[in-house]
Amino acid sequence: MTRRPGDVCIVGGGPAGMVLALLLARQGIGVTVLEAARDFQRNFRGDTLHPAIMELMAELGLAAPLLRLAHTRAHQARFISSGRAQTIADFSRLRTPYPYLTVMAQSRFLTFLAGELARYPRARIEMGARVEGLLEGKGGEVEGVVYRQGGELHELRAALMVGTDGRFSKVRALAGLPLRRLSPGQDVLWFSLPRQDGDPGGSIDLHLGGPHCIVTTDHGERWQVGYSIRKGSYAEARSLGVGPIRQAVAETIPWLAGRLHLLTEWGQLHLLAVEVARVRRWWRPGLLLIGDAAHPISPIGGMGINMAVQDAIAAANHLCAPLRAGRVRPRHLARVQRTRAWQIAFLQAQQVIEEREVIGIHVGAQLHVPTTLLKVLHSLPGLRRLPGYITAYGLSPVRLRSGWAVERA
């Protein structure tokens, strides 16, 4: 395939890749998304759209139709320990039309974005396309990818390759951009339980008790439950079966006890390997990494999608003009990293502290609530909104440049 001067190939059809594709397509730039999966079904992936993302959708004229899709709204995030609830972040205090986390199945959000992308003749999505190699020029610049689809190998050349293929990024590995791990990490087992009338709602809760933490997220017809285990202890947990998990959840969240009999086999559990890490440099000539491909983030605070989408906005802001000019230089890619890297470093440092000191991931550690810090934050009027703001936006949200919300003819 012959590449056109401004074409972009995005590897990975998750939130970062799809948002970047839509932003570029709306500016008349040719874009191809290569997604390894055959559909957008995402079992137990990030399902929260933060206010920053909803405000982006509003700028694009897409918030209203997006909110017509099935979703729930979390107005708070809380710690719950020994039956006592303590607010971590209160989104209802934010000055925004969307003072909540929009809880929506990631597959539904991605399908919505794909429908919007289909409106643009120079945009396409290739499903079931697994990248197997990079095409490089004589000077080492990345010029394209080799991918397998339907048993056949294809080459695709573009002015810029963008890796948005997640924490286990194949593009990152092929590009030789190693991760620096910042924490020992943890593993989380996810499963669903039916929601019943009378269940609590309106918040995302982190239940603390013993050596495990348990997260509950209201998806309307079901609860999504996350159960933390020690890093690397998956085989041990599996050998014990679902019994210990049912017992721990019943003891920690008594109102779920009456439906835990529905968790009957290990196949109902899905493993999420969690770590906090980042690459030193997000780019090579001709290639950029964003989102979890550049900086895997812990699910603490649900910041992964939020930060990845803001990476996409920064990339669109900085790269649109060079793409139109037909030449993306290393300085343009470095500018994207400079815009985002300081904020990612701060948030990751905060997550490492929370993981090690607050949530007690270490073997045998007991989980506890940082009551002093939370009491201070919630007792001072000037700081009361801070935890909710940082969760909703990060430290300094990236906004679309003026005029970007208007589609090009």
- Domain 70-101+186-274+362-395, what fold? D-Amino Acid Oxidase; Chain A, domain 2 (3.30.9)
Q: Average pLDDT of 21-40?
A: 95
Q: Average pLDDT of 256-284?
A: 93
What pLDDT, on a 0 to 100 scale, did the predictor assign at position 135? 96
**What class is the 8-48+104-182+276-361 domain?**
alpha beta
Q: Average pLDDT of 20-28?
A: 96
pLDDT-derived band of residue 369, with 50, 70 and 90 as boundaries? very low
What pLDDT, on a 0 to 100 scale, did the predictor assign at position 106? 92
**In 253-329, which ranges are continuous DSSP H helix?**
304-325
Q: Average pLDDT of 246-261?
A: 94
Q: Average pLDDT of 95-110?
A: 95
Average confidence score pLDDT of the chain: 87
pLDDT-derived band of residue 361, with 50, 70 and 90 as boundaries? very low
What pLDDT, on a 0 to 100 scale, did the predictor assign at position 403? 67
pLDDT-derived band of residue 25, with 50, 70 and 90 as boundaries? very high
Nearest to 392 by CA among 23, 58, 75: 75
pLDDT-derived band of residue 185, with 50, 70 and 90 as boundaries? low
Domains 8-48+104-182+276-361 and 70-101+186-274+362-395 fall in the same CATH topology: no
Q: Select the more confidently predicted residue: 40 or 3.
A: 40
Instruction: Provide the 10 A C-beta neighbour count for residue 371.
Output: 12
Nearest to 117 by CA among 32, 7, 4, 40: 32
Instruction: Provide the 10 A C-beta neighbour count for residue 323.
Output: 24
The lowest-confidence range among 13-27, 124-138, 200-214 is: 200-214
pLDDT reading at 13 higher than 80: yes
> Residue for token digits 């009551």?
371
The lowest-confidence range among 55-69, 113-127, 349-363 is: 349-363
Domain segments of the chain as ranges: 8-48+104-182+276-361, 70-101+186-274+362-395
**DSSP secondary structure letters along 320-389:** HHHHHHT---HHHHHHHHHHHHHHHHHHHHHHHHIIIIIS--STTPPP---HHHHHHHHHSTTTTTHHHH
Q: What are the residues whose beta carbons fall under 8 Å from the beta carbon of 354, sequence distance 6 or more?
A: 298, 300
